[in-house]
A = this chain, B = another copy of it.
Amino acid sequence: MSANVIGVDMGGTKILSAVIGPEGNILGTAKVPTKADRGPSVVIDRIADSIRKAIDKSGVAPTSIEAVGIGAPGPLDPATGVVIFAPNLRWKDVRLKDELEARVGFPTFVDNDVNVGTLGEHVFGAGQGFQNVVGIFVGTGIGGGIILQGELFHGASKTAGEIGHIIVKAGGPRCGCGTRGCLEAIASRTAMTKQFRKAIKKGQKSVLSELTGGDLTAIRSGVLAKAIRLNDKLTLKVIKKTTKYLGVGIGSIVNFLNPEMIVLGGGVVEALDDTFLDDIRAAAEKYALPNTLSGVQIVPAKLGDNAGILGAAALARQRIFND
């Protein structure tokens, strides 16, 4: 199977398409704005355009392309390729697979963007050679994916891997999902921002006020990293709480599923340095059963922004041979 595939990372603001060779080599890419406000049909046209551009740039023959894989936001049905609901695109029940196949002529496979990122890390990144891998991505929210026996595990409602909604502290902070105490409600960047705003409003001094020009609503991961380097007391305190609860969540996962590997990625993890990961590991050690964590590797994601296109390519490759 030396053929090439297309990997598409479809986000709310941009679409990144790439031609990927059999070894995960990126042969050509094209990036276009999503323009979600123009409606699904235009967005799918733009995906098709970006695929054609990526093929052009790669110089490979279109006949060498076997399939297209797409990581898309929102709950979706990986079997039918229908995006059920994607608030940031304002999509509802969009037949992404069928519509794109009609435009590009290649068999197309769709999966959730976080699942695809996890698959990318499994096939081409940190999780290579491991059969049972859990991916955890900490950013605005906390997403995740589960690889079992080398393949994405979707679960009964196709929603498996919602690691951000493991309840780590019943009765804790209110979560966007409507309940309380979810991991995402305590340890995502959004949750951290809430803690910063609350403390600063109460009069606590922090270099964050300065670094954000007073606009605490938009604390990016890079700003967090800077505040840590400046030894900002408030930032360190909030980060400590974050690592603790990520450790609680990971401890639960280790006790329950006991995967071979947990890959940690996402904006927050990437922006912060190794001590962040060390602290998470130490916290997980406290919550995992004795002797269980020794068998489970906790490692940083390797692919960064390429996890999406590489994972989508891996998806296309797996599905074309299995479906």
Contact = CB atoms under 8 A, between A and B. Distances in A.
A167 B251 contact: yes
B160 A256 contact: yes
A253 interface: yes
A292 B179 CA distance: 14
B179 A286 contact: yes
Contact of A162 (B148, B256, B296): B256
A100 B77 CA distance: 48
B169 A260 contact: no
A295 B75 CA distance: 14
A155 B245 contact: no
A213 interface: no
A206 interface: no
Interface stretch (A14-22, A105-113, A170-178): A170-178
Nearest to A186: B170
A304 B261 CA distance: 35
Contacts of A290: 177-178
A256 B165 CA distance: 7
A185 B86 CA distance: 39
Nearest to A297: B156
Contact of A159 (B144, B161, B258, B287): B258
B258 A155 contact: yes
B256 A296 contact: no
Given A167-B168, A289-B165, A157 B294 contact: yes
Contacts of A148: 148-149, 153
Contacts of A252: 165-167, 252
A310 interface: no
A89 to B, nearest CB: 19
Contact of A256 (B149, B156, B166, B287): B166
A259 interface: yes
A23 to B, nearest CB: 27
Given A168-B167, A169-B171, A289 B159 contact: yes
A248 interface: yes
A248 B181 CA distance: 10
Contacts of A169: 169-171, 181
Q: Which of A179, A248, A253, A255 has the most CB of B within 10 A?
A: A255
| Those 5 A-B pairs whose CB atoms lie nearest each other, nearest first | A155-B258, A157-B295, A160-B258, A156-B295, A165-B255
11 contacts: A146-B256, A149-B149, A155-B258, A155-B259, A162-B289, A165-B256, A169-B169, A169-B181, A179-B287, A256-B256, A257-B257
